[in-house]
Structure 1
């Protein structure tokens, strides 16, 4: 029930449900996993940290170490996140091929976040050896290929991943490569498909993906801001704050955007996209020094953090010189 509530974005209910179970079964590690997940989604990071520590103390399994990795990543501890996910990948039951591949993909993701593309690709390749045609690994490798400018192979990998399971992120990534290559018709089909997928997901849809997509492409900005504002009222996690700040920036409300982007940076997460948004907001406010610092930080963290936006960060930095 708890995981279903999370799937349908009923985070407060998921948290309440896990808290009730905790009272009845205080020694059950899976309950602390549910507490971690719900608190992370709601932006209750201190509570998430406490829950995951209890979980790993009770039972140091793949599930607990994977969560330790995610929480460390949120707190800006990339080395610690990589270490914990590496442990998760090593201690998972070798018969559980998909679980092992899942860990390797997330290990690759942690490397990718900080611009370590070769190491990231190595993990995605290992995941594909363990569990061939795994769509998350295909998409991950697509991102590493795009990051080094190998768009032909990136398109191939994203297309394979999309044909397996058309996830919104993969669909948008393929659209972005088409946009970058000047194939506007193909790109539009991808973005339309992304909207269609989120619509079909109903209550399980993560509307924030559309709010980010529309803001990035300067379309449907009123609808995007409505989604971001509504989501931020429900949850105070850093990624929702980031998307709201970006939408406020796109509507020209730089002061409000700055206040919200500070929320998104409160854990010192090493997230190039958040730094990029912070830099653009400072640029909008006319603070050239602060803008340049954040834009440089974004590109130092990951010079290919986004197929389209990383180029815009470089362009904005040039304009500030």
Structure 2
């Protein structure tokens, strides 16, 4: 009987794997979403509230509503100036608010999170909690900030404090917690419950958010067809959603190895939505296609964009890898990695610090960092790949072998270029 069950299980795994391998996207599914117009960065609503703001203005609602519109413009265009303008409006709102001050503290904290200013976000979240109003929202926010900072024990305490299986906010956070623990099945289960809540409430923004996040999680779990399906569902509700289009481009590139079509999708998105990471992805695809000119062009575009001081620490992690892999400026990467660890001490940032030490020749230091701050603390494939290379350089054959098997199953998530890197371990 046990033999029969084992054979059935093996057959099911092989069948599922084969199904995913055979799955293919269809350009007809998403072509209508690639024809878009420039997003509007003003409205009568915005102009109304913005007109009420003067140098000595104390119209609290004006600042909150204007900040909300700026956030929307940032989401639609990727233009950092709108995020900074939202910050300015919210800073003023916090300054003058006599009522609902905790709400403005939370809004400013979320703005800081978007800018990767996590310690400042924590300060705002604590201020909101201290005022008492909207306590559940403040506790939820504190969970979010502590997760970003790598304070996982503290984050879990805040998660326990908001436990409510019928609350959308709790469901998405317990999903995130289980993703951190490497339990993707449970993560997806909770996100599906959250989706049902959003659907029952007919809340379009929450549905868009849950669809796109479910698409991500399905991709991590190797459920490529489900991932594609939910990116399309996101676009049905939000045809201009750049994140979902980028997700489809990744499937086309990483799963189907169709670099030309992936670049076509990204070029359509980049027509009106620009952020530095798109150029990194386009460079990666061009590298896979052996188009050295396109690789150089996209890396140049990325480098020029990140010179904008408004980005602050938002692209530190990308920059560290860029300095290591493309610029070969290891000391610069090391200094930035140290800064990033001080900004948020997570397994990811420590792995970047360790990797920079490896490249500069400090193999023993790199290994010590991995053993203390990375091993057993994350399941992120990119982090594990760096750790594997450090183990290999340290002659730790058994550790490399164990991780190599796991990484081989994560090539979709890591991208086609990782295949040779993993094989070389």
Normalising by structure 2, what TM-score?
Answer: 0.68
Match of 2:307 in 1: 199
Runs of at least 5 residues in structure 2 that lack an aligned partner in the other structure: 1-107
Match of 1:271 in 2: 380
Q: For residues 283 and 228 of structure 1, do their structure 2 counterparts lie closer, same or farther at Cα, with a shift above 3 Å needed?
A: same
CA distance in 1, matches of 2:360, 2:416: 20
Among candidates 264, 268, 272, match of residue 160 of structure 1: 268
Rounded Cα–Cα distance in structure 1 between residues aligned with 2:251 and 2:134: 41
Secondary structure at the aligned position of 2:312 is classed as helix
1:242 and 1:261 in contact (8 A); partners too: yes
| Alpha-carbon contact 2:172-2:190 (below 8 Å) kept | yes
**Residue 287 (structure 1) aligned with residue 393 (structure 2):** no
Matched ranges for 1:1-321 at <5 A: 1-25=108-132, 28-57=135-164, 60-61=167-168, 63-92=169-198, 96-148=203-255, 149-200=257-308, 201-203=310-312, 205-217=314-326, 219-262=328-371, 263-267=373-377, 269-300=378-409, 302-307=410-415, 309-317=417-425
Deviation at 1:308, TM superposition (A): 5.3
Does the CA contact (< 8 Å) of 2:175 and 2:190 recur in 1? Answer: yes
Give distance in 1, aligned partners of 2:272 and 2:175: 27
| Contact 2:385/2:422 (8 A) holds in 1 | no
Question: Where in structure 1 are there 5+ consecutive unaligned residues?
Answer: none
Larger Cα-atom Rg: 2
2: CA distance, partners of 1:99 / 1:87: 12
Q: Quick check: 1:27–1:58 contact (8 Å CA) kept in 2?
A: no
**Does the 8 Å contact 2:139/2:161 carry over to 1?**
yes
1:26 Cα deviation after fit: 6.9
Give the number of aligned pairs: 314
Mark the CA change 1:109 to 1:15 in structure 2 (over 3 Å): closer, same or farther.
same
Distance change (3 Å), C-alpha of 1:204 and 1:286: closer
Q: Deviations over 1:270-290 (max 9, x none)?
A: 321122111111111122232
Deviation of the 1:204 alpha carbon: 5.5
Choose 306-315 or 137-146, whichever is displaced more: 306-315
Verify the 8 A CA contact 2:140 2:158 in the aligned structure 1: yes
CA distance in 2, matches of 1:309, 1:216: 13
Q: Is the 8 A contact 2:128 2:138 kept in 1?
A: yes
**1:203–1:218 CA distance, 2 compared to 1 (3 A):** closer
Give secondary structure in 1 for the equivalent of 2:234.
helix
Q: Which runs of 4+ in 1 moved over 4 A?
A: 93-96
- Cα displacement string for residues 152-202 of structure 1 (whole angstroms, at most 9, x for unaligned residues): 222222223333422333221111010111111111221222223333233
Does the 8 Å CA contact 2:117/2:313 hold for their aligned counterparts?
A: no
Question: What RMSD over aligned residues (CA atoms) do the two structures have, in Å?
Answer: 2.3
Q: Is the 8 A contact 1:55 1:64 kept in 2?
A: yes
Cα-to-partner distance string for 1:241-296 (whole Å, 9 max, x where unaligned): 122122222223222222223313443x3321122111111111122232222122
| Partner residue, 2:31 | none
CA distance in 1, matches of 2:419, 2:331: 25
How far, CA to CA, are the matches of 1:306 and 1:163 in structure 2?
26
- Relative to structure 1, is the Cα distance of residues 246 and 113 closer, same or farther in structure 2, using a 3 angstrom cutoff? farther
For 2:413 and 2:357, how far apart are their aligned partners in 1?
A: 21
8 Å contact 1:73–1:81 — kept in the other structure? yes
Q: 1:192 to 1:69 in 2, by over 3 A?
A: farther
